Amino acid sequence: MHYIKLGNSGLDVSPIAIGAMTYGEPDRGHPVWSLAEEQSRPLIRHALEAGINFFDTANMYSLGSSEEILGRALKDYADRDDVVITTKIRHTMRPGPNGRGLSRKAIMTEIDHSLRRLGTDHVDVYMIHRLDNATPLEETLEALHDVVKAGKARYLGASSMRAFEFSKALHLQKANNWARFITMQDHYNLLAREEEREMLPLCADEGVGTMVWSPLARGRLARPWKTETDRSVSDPFAGMLYTELTADSDRAIIDTVGEIAEARGVTRAQIALAWLHHHPVVAAPLVGASTTSQIDDAVASLDIRLTDDEISRLERPYTPRHDLQGISDEAELERIKARIPGFGLSV
C-alpha cells in the first residue's frame, strides 16, 4: 500500500477508504444488509492487514452502532496513531429539539457522543453530512473551527452540496481564519459524473481532496446489468440516484465495464475503481465492503492503469442525469423531483 496526502493537507491516507455504513447492528439500522459486530470485525481487520488506514463512518449510521463497532475493532487491531478516522454529523439522532442539524449546540453535543462511541479522544476528520439550511452557515463553521481548536478533531470535511455553497463555505473559513475543509465527500462514479461540471474543478483549484461515496453505483458497476442483490431490492435511495431516464446509457457503460474486465482477467469492480483512480482530485473511493474479496478488489484496483482507449470507451456512452445529492432543503428537493418525469423508478 502506498499513501497519499488528503488534498493540500499533511494528512497521509490510503487511496482506498472503508465506508463503515455497512457495519452496524441490524436492529438499529438496515436489517437486510448491515453486518453485526461479529461479522464486521474480520472485515475491518482484513482492511488493516491490506494496508488501508482510512475509515469513514457517521453518527447516524445504525444510530451510532457503526461508530461503536468501528471504534472497538480499531482499538483491538490497530495503533490509533496509524489510522485515520472520519465521522459525520447533521442527520437526526433523536426526536425533539436539537436532535439534528448543524447548530453550535448540536455540533458540540454530537462530537462528544461520537468520540464516546468511537472510544477515542479525537477524530482525524470531522465532516458535515449535508448542509443545514435552518442554521446560519457562519455559526456552523465557527463551531467546527472550535472543535478543531479544542483538539477533538484534527481536520474538517464536507459532503454533497452545490459547488457554489462549498465555495462560499471555503471563502468564509478563509476570511475568518477558521479551520478549513480539506476534503469533500461526493457522489461520483461512471454512472454519475455530474460533479465533473463544477464541484471537482472547484476542489482541484482549492486543493481539496475528494472521497467518493457509491463508487460502484450501489454495486451496479460490479455486476451484470439488472442483476439484483438483497441490498439492491431493499434500497429505496437507489431509486433517487439511478432512474430509468438514463437506463440505456447506464447499460452501455456497465456492459463496457464487463468487456474490459473480461479482457484483462480482472473483476468489474476493479475496472470501475481504476477509472476513479485516474482522476487526480479523487483521493479515495469509499468502499462499503461486506466481504474480504471486495476489499481485495479495491486494493487490486490501485495497480490497474487504464489505457486512453479504455477510458474513452467507458466514458463515451454517458448521459447527463439529474443529480440531487447537493440539495439539502427537503421541500426544494420534493419540488424538483415532482418536475422530473419518471422520477423514482429504480434501475
207 falls within a domain: yes
Q: Between helices 65-77 and 104-118, what is the axis angle to 10°?
A: 40
163 falls within a domain: yes
Question: Is the pLDDT score of 345 beyond 60?
Answer: no
Nearest residue to 64 (alpha-carbon basis) of 1, 118, 106, 4: 118
Would you please indicate which residues are annotated as catalytic (active-site) residues? 61
174 falls within a domain: yes
- Decide which of 132 and 330 is more confident: 132
pLDDT in tens, 269-296: 999 999 999 999 999 999 999 999 999 9
**Number of domains the chain is built from:** 1
Question: Is the pLDDT score of 334 beyond 60?
Answer: no
346 falls within a domain: no
Looking up cell 456492459 gives: 255
Percent of the chain residues topping a pLDDT of 90: 83
> Distance between CA atoms of 63 and 110, rounded to whole angstroms?
12
> Distance between CA atoms of 1 and 52, rounded to whole angstroms?
7
**CA dihedral of 24, 29, 34, 37, whole degrees rounded to 10:** 20
> Distance between CA atoms of 62 and 20, rounded to whole angstroms?
10
Domain span at 22: 4-338
345 falls within a domain: no
Least trusted range by pLDDT, from 40-44, 85-89, 166-170, 193-197:
193-197
Q: What's the pLDDT at 37? A: 97
Tell me, what CATH number does 162's domain have?
3.20.20.100
User: What burial class does residue 296 get, using C-beta atoms within 10 Å of its C-beta: 0-12 exposed, 13-18 middle, 19+ buried?
Assistant: middle
334 falls within a domain: yes
CA distances from 8 to 4, 43, 181, 208 (A): 10, 30, 10, 6
pTM of the entire predicted model? 0.90
82 falls within a domain: yes
344 falls within a domain: no
Provide, for the chain, the percentages of residues in helix, strand and coil under a 3-state DSSP scheme, each rounded to the nearest 5.
Answer: 45, 15, 40
Give the 3-state secondary structure of residue 78. Answer: coil
pLDDT in tens, 37-85: 999 999 999 999 999 999 999 999 999 999 999 999 999 999 999 999 9
Q: All 3 cell numbers of residue 320?
A: 447527463
Q: Where does the pLDDT of residue 331 fall: very low under 50, low under 70, confident under 90, or very high at 90 and above?
A: low
What is the arithmetic mean of pLDDT over 197-208? Answer: 96
